[in-house]
Each structure stands twice: as C-alpha cells, then as structure tokens.
Amino acid sequence: MEKWSLMAIAALLGLTIRWTVSLGSYSGAGKPPLYGDYEAQRHWQEVTYNLPVKQWYFNTSDNNLQYWGLDYPPLTAYHSLLCAYVAKLINPSWIALHTSRGHESQPHKLFMRATVLVADLLIYIPAVILYCCYLRETSTKKKIATALCILLYPGLILIDYGHFQYNSVSLGFALWGVLCLSCDLNLLGSVAFCLAINYKQMELYHSLPFFCYLLGKCFKKGLMGKGLLLLIKLGSIVVVSFAVCWLPFCSEVEQILQVLRRLFPVDRGLFEDKVANIWCTLSVLIKIKTVLSSQTQFKLSFALTFLSLLPCCIKLTLQPSLKGFKYALVSCALSFFLFSFQVHEKSILLVSIPVCLVINEIPFMSTWFLLVSTFSMLPLLLKDGLLLSYIVTTLAFFTVCIASFSIFEKTSEDDLQLKTFSSSLRRYIPWFRTFPNLMKSAFLVSITLMGILTLMSATLDPPKKLPDLFPLAVSAVSCLHFLFFLLYFNVITIWELRDSRNQKKSN
C-alpha cells in the first residue's frame, strides 16, 4: 500500500477517536456556579469580544477576574476573539456580556468541540505527520506507526476533547518549532516556539532546551563569525515575534505588568489539587504548605528545579545534537513538572509530547511513560466523567504500541539506549548488568498497579476519614514513576552525547 494512504488512515483514526471522545462530558458540565474549563474558554470569548483590549486582563465592573479571569498570554486571547466572531455568526447569545454566563446547550457544545478540532487539524496534526515523515533512518512503516502512536496518545485527546482545553495549539506550535529545528530552519523554529510561549506560558518548560540548543549551535559555528551573526538574528527574531504578539499591550508599562501578574500568579501557592509532583507527594508525609513560609517554598522549589535542570542543559549547550535536544526537552519539562511552583496536573502533557517524539527510538520506555502520564490525570478525568473514554483510549493506545513496536521485545540494554551508560558504569562496578526481564516485570507490575488503582478509584467509595485517599495514591504512584523516568532520561541525555563524541572519534 502506498505511504500516503497509510498516513491518511493513521490521521483519520486519530481524528475519529478525537471526535468520539468529544461526544462525552466536559469539565464542569452542569455544575454551577463556577463550572469548569469549558466555561472558562467560553467566558474568555465573551470577554474578548465585548470588552476593549485594554480591559481584558484588568478587574473592571464588566470583567470580574475572580470568575475565570483571563490568565493565559495574548495569543490565547486572540484565539478566543476569533472563536467569538464565529460564535456571534451562529448564535449571539452564546457570547452576550454577562447574560451568557454559564451557558450550556447541545449546539454550543458542538460548536466548542468543533473549534478544538479545527485548531488541532490546522496546527497539531500536520506537525505530527510532517515530523514523522522527516524522521531519519526509519522505514516507511515505522514512520507511520510512530505517527499513529503519537496521534492516539490518550492524555492529550482526553484533556482537549474531554476535559476541554486547547493544548494542541501550544503543543502544536512547539512541535513546529522542533520540526523546523530538525530541518535546520533555526529562525522559523524560534518563531514557532515564540508563538507557543505566547499561547500558553507553560511552554516555558520547553524554553531552556530550545535556548541551549540554539546557543550551542551558535557556539559551534564560532562565537565571533557566523555564530555571532546567527545569535543576533535569533535574538532579534524572538524580540520581534514577542513584540508583535504583545503589540496591543505595549502602549503602557502597566498593561504589560498586569498581564504578567495574571500569567504568573505566585501567590496561588506551591501546588493546587492533586498533582503528581514531588511537593504534593511529600505533603502526605510533611505538610509543606504549612511548615514553610511561602517565600521559602518558592526559593526551595526554584533551587531544586534549577539544580535538576542544570546537567542536561550544560550538556546540550556544549554538544548540541538533535537527538540530545529531544531528550533534553523531556528531562527539562519533567524537572519543571516535578519541582517547580504552581504546577497543574495537565502540565504533564508538556512532558508527554516530547516523549512521543522519541517513541520510535525507545518504544518500551516511552509507552510506559505515556501510560503513566495519562494515569496521573485520572482524578481529574474521573471528576469530568470521562472514565469510559479514559479506559478505552488508553487500551487502544496500548494495543497500537504493542502491535506496532512489539515493545516487550525491546527491553535489552541496546534498545533502552543504555549501552554506553552501563559499559561506563561497569568500569567501576564490574558486576553491573541491566536486566531486560527485570524491566519487563517492573513494567507489568506497574501497569497492574495502575489498573487496580483505576478500578478502585472508579468503583469504591473512599473511607470517610481519608476522602482524598485514591487521588493521593494515584499522585504518589505516578510521582514515583516520574522520578524514575527523570533519572532515566537524564542518564540518556548525558550519556547519549558522550556516545556521539565516541562515534566521531572512531570515525
């Protein structure tokens, strides 16, 4: 069969699953007075359409910031405005100021779901398909299998089409950035990534690898000649794209400051709800939020994040390689997720998408991680009534991964990309071995545990004394997994680079 038709089938399957998930419930459906993210997005359409730009981020009589105030960067606001214009054409009451608050109806749901699909279709899906087409040293079949796996990744589908958000836009822009960088289009890549940051500030998780990789490239070209020129070009294009995005807010300094205050709500505390990061898990043992002052919390989380980021960023700057760049995206985003301040459970998607990008290189570990990442959002998904979609999409993804990569046969040292690491370790500890079978059984234990926890949270009522027992258990289990993955990805990032240097020597 021809390549294009297989790719089309992969894309169509992804789209079908997306749309069927979107028939289900969304966050805050029929739950006044606050509703959920669905209402937030609708409210932003209402605000951006009816109010002048200057009032979008300010608390005014027409814009109560306590009720889903706009707290994403300008591109999100523009997107909302665009959707609002379409909504106005279909039914003006959907975005009428004040009166539309909490509006819910079948046609409106259909409209909102369609906006997500359109955004996805325009930005994320083409990026995934092109990325897989341009993969190097891979057979056609592997490329298509990779595309199918990425498109079926349940976490993103469930959050965007179930819970309701537009993550595929910011992640899609970031993916375009990676795609451009891998084709050596550095300037275009930077623009795409700037768009991503300006759509969602959480994309900053990815900013360090982008920065380090490009900086490293400049260094490589020589800091005086071509490298300096590239650096200046990159710097100016970033400044220009930021300026364009923020143009309506550039008139006053106070505007910019207010937007920034909305984007980084430092006073909201170390974490919210149940997040599978280190703080939430630790607070089971020590009540960090009460023991430490918020200043100390902030400093502590900053220091830990910085320290965990440091090794792979330094490596990437010194030896920029495309492969290292992808792994650095994973480990940096994971460090941010685990240690930084004010993390949402949905931010795990920022780690997952880079993991998707390396699924063809380390299928076993990637599949494992992607399953855990979806599992870590279970409490949220249960709240939204997405249990069935969660189970079905996860199983579908798992089936596809098994069938296309036969992951259980990919647990050897070589397949896990740990060869250089273990051989260098063996110099000091001669008896050291990585155990393929051990990995396999660890994986099986882990998915059984996740399955049992899913079943328990879905069917059992928690004991009265511990109402948060299951969400906390889910977070703690996922967090432990994530710590293990952080270690693993850091090891790969650091030793992979050494590997490439060795290869050069031998050449």
Residues at the interface with another protein (CB under 8 A): 1-2, 5-6, 8-9, 12-13, 15-17, 19-21, 23-24, 106-107, 110, 117, 141, 144-145, 148, 152, 388-389, 392-393, 395-396, 399-400, 402-406
By beta-carbon proximity to another protein, the closer residue of 122 and 403 is: 403
Closest CA to 288 of 270, 272, 273: 270
By beta-carbon proximity to another protein, the closer residue of 2 and 137 is: 2
Phi, psi of 221, deg, nearest 5? -80, 0
CB 149 to another protein: min, Å: 10
Neighbours of 276 (CB within 10 A): 28
CB 259 to another protein: min, Å: 36
Spatial distance between the Cα atoms of 454 and 393, rounded to a whole number of angstroms = 14
Closest CA to 456 of 471, 475, 466: 471
By beta-carbon proximity to another protein, the closer residue of 108 and 346 is: 108
CB 2 to another protein: min, Å: 6
In the block, tokens 């993916």 appear at 175
CB 22 to another protein: min, Å: 8
CA distances from 101 to 46, 97, 190, 244, 408 (A): 9, 8, 38, 31, 51
- Beta-carbon contacts of 41 under 8 Å, excluding residues fewer than 6 positions away, are 80, 112, 164, 165, 166
CB 113 to another protein: min, Å: 8
Spatial distance between the Cα atoms of 476 and 478, rounded to a whole number of angstroms = 5
CB 479 to another protein: min, Å: 29
Spatial distance between the Cα atoms of 447 and 438, rounded to a whole number of angstroms = 14
By beta-carbon proximity to another protein, the closer residue of 296 and 406 is: 406
By beta-carbon proximity to another protein, the closer residue of 309 and 371 is: 371
By beta-carbon proximity to another protein, the closer residue of 339 and 364 is: 364
CB 188 to another protein: min, Å: 31
CB 105 to another protein: min, Å: 12
By beta-carbon proximity to another protein, the closer residue of 166 and 482 is: 166
By beta-carbon proximity to another protein, the closer residue of 89 and 253 is: 89
Alpha-helix runs per DSSP H in 34-124: 37-50, 74-90, 106-119
By beta-carbon proximity to another protein, the closer residue of 311 and 385 is: 385
CB 237 to another protein: min, Å: 38
CA distances from 257 to 47, 211, 260 (A): 20, 24, 5
Closest CA to 404 of 157, 159, 151, 161: 151
By beta-carbon proximity to another protein, the closer residue of 19 and 67 is: 19
In the block, tokens 């079943």 appear at 455
User: Can you name the residues that pair with 343 across neighbouring β-strands?
Assistant: 271
CB 260 to another protein: min, Å: 39
Burial of 295 per CB tally in 10 Å (0-12, 13-18, 19+): exposed
By beta-carbon proximity to another protein, the closer residue of 28 and 216 is: 28
Task: Estimate to the nearest angstrom the gap between the alpha carbon of 141 and the chain centroid.
Answer: 26
CB 399 to another protein: min, Å: 5
Spatial distance between the Cα atoms of 325 and 211, rounded to a whole number of angstroms = 10
Spatial distance between the Cα atoms of 507 and 498, rounded to a whole number of angstroms = 14
Helix/strand/coil percentages in the chain, nearest 5: 75, 0, 25
